[in-house]
Amino acid sequence: MSGRYGLVVMGTSTGGLHALTRLLAALPARYSLPIVIVQHRSKDSDERLPALLQVASRLPLREAEDKEPLRSPGVYLGPPDYHLLVEPESLALSTEEVVTYSRPSIDVLFESASYAFGSAVIAVLLTGANQDGTRGLSQIKARGGYVIVQDPASAESDFMPRHAVKHVAVDRVLPLEKIAAELVARASETRPG
Amino acid sequence: MTGILDPEIWQTANDARERRYAEATTELERLEMELLLLAIFRHHGFDFRSYAQASLHRRVRKHMETTRVPTISRLTELILHEPAALQRLLHDLSVNVTAMFRDPTFFAEFRKTVVPLLRTYPTVRIWHAGCSTGEEVYAMAILLEEEGLYERCRIYATDMDSTVLDHARQGIFPLSRMKEYTANYFLGGGTRSLSDYYTAKYDGALFAPRLSKNVLFTQHNLAMDRGFSEFNVILCRNVLIYFDRGLKDQTLRLFSDSLTKLGVLCLGRKESLRFSDLEHEFSALSERERIYRRNK
């Protein structure tokens, strides 16, 4: 009996550090799905971001390397100045041009996850101030994945989640403190016959 | 009451049907990709099947958007019957994003760690593999000149795409990028002013011809061609990320065979010899900057 889902992808921009800190802290240390995160960051961003997130997270967290195998429990963060993409069993990086003003871009991560994992992806879009992520979420929905968006009312910056909710038929709109429980519930779902 | 009319069960059944439909569509697209890559290989000889599929798929979708081709199958048909369509696709599938002194700390580390080694050699052979439009080749030439090493260097700069090499030979880069490159140049340990090396003309910066005097720009395909021999340094930064693991290992083998004993290999900031079979043939001079040295 295998799980319905194989991967969690998350995207966030402005306000993301605070939101990710709280969300990761609420996940159990043995969370069964690999989690891949793009947080918008400048190309000069250093290793303080992964260090801060690791302090909050009980799961092992690291900045992604090219061709790194996806493991669980494990949290992988997109490095600055690279796009982060998902292959069926590993991570991949790209230096291609910026997308929606961003590298790493949330759309690039989400679209690659939907192509590699099809309907077995859970995507989470959190606080942010641009429209990156919406296109990726609609791609994930089109391929049968599961989409959670942070309730704009609870977001530090509501533009990104609001834009997504307006354009994509999302599965759940949840306040930040309820997202971890939803991720735990979805991870225990089995694949129906 | 539960039963066939229970709205929740209806919802579940619909979800399952929709999911199966979505899964079938995704499977179909993967099949279309396979057929496209096979068509390119059989028709043209270039094998994209050993490329990293996630970013390749993205470039195919992007190409389809700009050329307004609705399905991958339609694209396959087009490239088999229209040579111009094939050329357009091949151009869009190669990645030609590059910069001068990208990751400045790498250049600072190169000055500190590799330059002293190179000083001990009477002549230095360097291979820039996958040099694209040449920004990094000129950046390295500037570094070598400032360290007093340029005159003893022979630099081979290669790419699979001959059009980007034509661009590289000219040594003209957008003037609009010079502010960014100047900042990188100083962070990378530059000792003069970047503007000493170029002449501004219209919206271009023409770099001094002396910087490319010891450079041979030549076509070479890492996926298909054999290596050269006896290099002291090989630079291949942010190229292997576009290959799959098999082609990456094959290319690292090519590099290992093309290096002199104790030759230096420089990779991109997030590329490493971990997750590869050749990890034990190299030692890190700087793991952080991804500078390695062949063991023997």
Q: What is the DSSP string of B206-261?
A: EE-GGGGTTEEEEE--TTTS-----EEEEEE-SSGGGB-HHHHHHHHHHHHHHEEE
Q: How confident is the model over B116-145, as a mean pLDDT?
A: 97
E-assigned strands of chain A? Answer: 7-12, 35-39, 61-63, 75-77, 83-86, 91-94, 121-125, 146-150, 172-174
Going along chain A from its start, the domains and CATH numbers come out as 7-187 (3.40.50.180)
Overall size of chain B counted in residues? 296
Answer with the one of B43, B70, B93 that is the final residue of a domain.
B93
Of the candidates A67, A115, A119, the beta carbon closest to that of B275 is on A67
Residues B285, B145: one domain? yes
Is residue A151 a contact partner of residue A34, using CB atoms and an 8 Å limit?
no
- Lowest mean pLDDT across A7-11, A29-33, A78-82, B94-98: B94-98
**Phi/psi class of residue B84: alpha, beta or left (left: φ > 0; alpha: ψ in -120 to 50)?**
alpha
Cβ distance B241 to A83 less than 8 Å, yes or no, reads no
How far is Cα B44 from Cα A31, in angstroms, rounded to an integer? 46
pLDDT value for B17: 83
B139 located within any domain: yes
Residues from A in contact with B at Cβ < 8 Å? 63-69, 79, 82-83, 85-87, 90, 92-97, 108, 111-112, 114-116, 118-119, 142-144, 192
Residues B54, B200: one domain? no
Of the candidates A180, A172, A176, the residue with the CA atom closest to the CA atom of residue A158: A176
Of the candidates A63, A92, A119, the beta carbon closest to that of B55 is on A92
Is residue A31 a contact partner of residue A187, using CB atoms and an 8 Å limit?
yes
Q: Rounded to 10 degrees, what is the CA torsion of B148, B215, B106, B183? A: 80
What distance in Å separates residue A63's CA from the closest CA in chain B? Answer: 9
pTM of the model: 0.92
Is residue A2 a contact partner of residue A117, using CB atoms and an 8 Å limit?
no
What residues have CB less than 8 Å from A57, skipping those under 6 apart? A24, A25, A27, A75
* pLDDT digit string, tens, across residues B9-65: 656 667 788 888 888 888 999 999 999 999 999 999 889 999 999 999 999 999 999
Residue B210 sits at the chain A interface (C-beta within 8 Å): no
Answer with the one of B93, B115, B142 that is the final residue of a domain.
B93
pLDDT value for B13: 66
The percent of residues above 90 in pLDDT, for chain B, comes to: 79
Residues B73, B127: one domain? no
pLDDT value for B46: 87
- Residue B24 corresponds to which amino acid? A
- State the DSSP H helix or E strand holding residue B65, giving kind and residue range, or none if neither: helix B53-67
The percent of residues above 70 in pLDDT, for chain B, comes to: 96
* pLDDT digit string, tens, across residues A149-162: 999 999 999 999 99
- State the DSSP H helix or E strand holding residue B173, giving kind and residue range, or none if neither: strand B172-174
Q: Which chain B residue has its CA at the smallest distance from A91's CA?
A: B54
Residues B86, B160: one domain? no
Answer with the one of B93, B127, B156 that is the final residue of a domain.
B93
Is residue A61 a contact partner of residue A23, using CB atoms and an 8 Å limit?
no
Q: How confident is the model over A158-173, as a mean pLDDT?
A: 96
Under DSSP, is residue B169 helix (H, G, I), strand (E, B) or coil?
helix
